[in-house]
A and B are shown apart, each in its own frame.
Chain A
């Protein structure tokens, strides 16, 4: 799978809550963040947890403001996420609450 995002891109994480194993932490679901860096290509953890080889897909470091995640805090949290978890954010809804 090709890389869909570049450093600096704004993204929103999925709100999908899968029934099994996932590597998208609950606190970072449905949140708006910024791509910091690419982190290689890896099979999805969801597939591997079911014993499947999984097709490699891009992984990114994505930075979130704590205030966007928790409603408070002046720090940032950088989470490492598979491309599947992310959708592009267009400018007009950039400030919309999840």
Chain B
């Protein structure tokens, strides 16, 4: 599975289904475009980075975030999305402790908060291997953890969605919250990078 299939036939098939659904009144014209716009405007790793930077600079917020992330992120005017809100669980890395997230059965991910997940996260190779050999998979990302670091893999198998709170890098005391947020990557929020 390469993840690259910009093939014309399936694009036409999708358009065909979409037209039929609009003709039947199942989906209103323009609704799909609105939904795409909302997804791309609302979900982004930048949201996760803001949450992390706030947790690094405000210990009380960090406590609230780890206890009840859905409520805490509203302080940053973020949410897990309308309708049936999924539970967000934030897991903090610590000294000698590293967390990494996967969904082995499908591809669960906090999409409304962080945007669509990367293709590697959805790949069979990642889903198959990371629960059994996390160090090997982290090696694919050039991340080598000390041998005594305890690794926990979180399999998103039910109704919670996970985000990792990375450790604040050394030597960042002088940085502002905005500058700290710029250090945080999407992989850091999944656990395949340190930050």
Say if the beta carbon of B156 comes within 8 Å of chain A.
Answer: yes
A97 to B46, CA, bound (A): 45
- Contact between B150 and A80, CB atoms less than 8 A apart: no
A82 to B87, CA, bound (A): 15
What bracket does the count of chain A residues touching chain B fall in?
Answer: 20 to 34
- Contact between B133 and A79, CB atoms less than 8 A apart: no
Say if the beta carbon of A90 comes within 8 Å of chain B.
Answer: no
Within the complex, what minimum Cβ distance (angstroms) separates A84 from chain B?
Answer: 12
- Contact between A23 and B132, CB atoms less than 8 A apart: no
- Contact between B152 and A63, CB atoms less than 8 A apart: yes
Say if the beta carbon of B193 comes within 8 Å of chain A.
Answer: no
Within the complex, what minimum Cβ distance (angstroms) separates B47 from chain A?
Answer: 22
What bracket does the count of chain B residues touching chain A fall in?
Answer: 20 to 34
Q: Which of A66-98 contact B (CB under 8 A)?
A: 66, 69-70, 73-82
- Contact between B155 and A75, CB atoms less than 8 A apart: no
Within the complex, what minimum Cβ distance (angstroms) separates B124 from chain A?
Answer: 14
Q: Which residues of A contact B134 (CB under 8 A)?
A: 73, 75
- Contact between A24 and B151, CB atoms less than 8 A apart: no
- Contact between A66 and B132, CB atoms less than 8 A apart: yes
Say if the beta carbon of A27 comes within 8 Å of chain B.
Answer: yes
